[in-house]
A and B are shown apart, each in its own frame.
Chain A
């Protein structure tokens, strides 16, 4: 079957660009929701930032290798990024499986993983311009942000954010694919939320956790690659080589979850129950 091979088809690239553009425009229409989301991220930025500064203050200025301004940037960039990587809730595919609409996805000439990925990248692009930028501006006005010293950090951070979005998409896609077997994915979603909140580094920097746990998280799970990685690249935690290794781990995870998505998708299609209607 030709549709099992996602990449090398003539015209795929142009179609993907169009899909990404559509994803961008689709999210640009929810302006009220975007403003509400940015507002909420900003309030949480103030909350988390106050707590982190209290941690740094109590620890005598440096907490787990982060100085005050680095922690401030960690918080505000994290609040902006969680909309970009869409850390919480995405059930569109699961909903389509439940209603049976998913069958029309399979009729398209582009592989479903690629279709959803490109649309998601378009969405992430819009989120970068709005949801990422808004809390960062407020954070910069109200607190002293850490500004990267190394020029190479900026392009590397962009690559890192891109990889983070792809990893997040892959995991969310896999979560949604479970609906082919379970139909009701409420339980899987709550489990994902649990991992998303703690293991990605949203609640606290993962460096606060015990040392033995950290390599297990970074290499054994995709979660740190989704949020902690781009933040650590941006606040220049450790050496330049460390930054590069973070991005390398992310790219590895991006490739792994995409490959797994394609594989599970193939299995899922055999399980497809068209519920009629």
Chain B
């Protein structure tokens, strides 16, 4: 097979958003994730509180 000079257009993976390097970094950045952990916990607690009647 020779060198690929073009790609098949509009395939399944063409449309969805792909994360940038910065987004991927923030997903594993300990300080940011510690903050998000607190935020997610608070949101979950609010969700649980609103779920019980």
- Do chains A and B interact in one complex? no
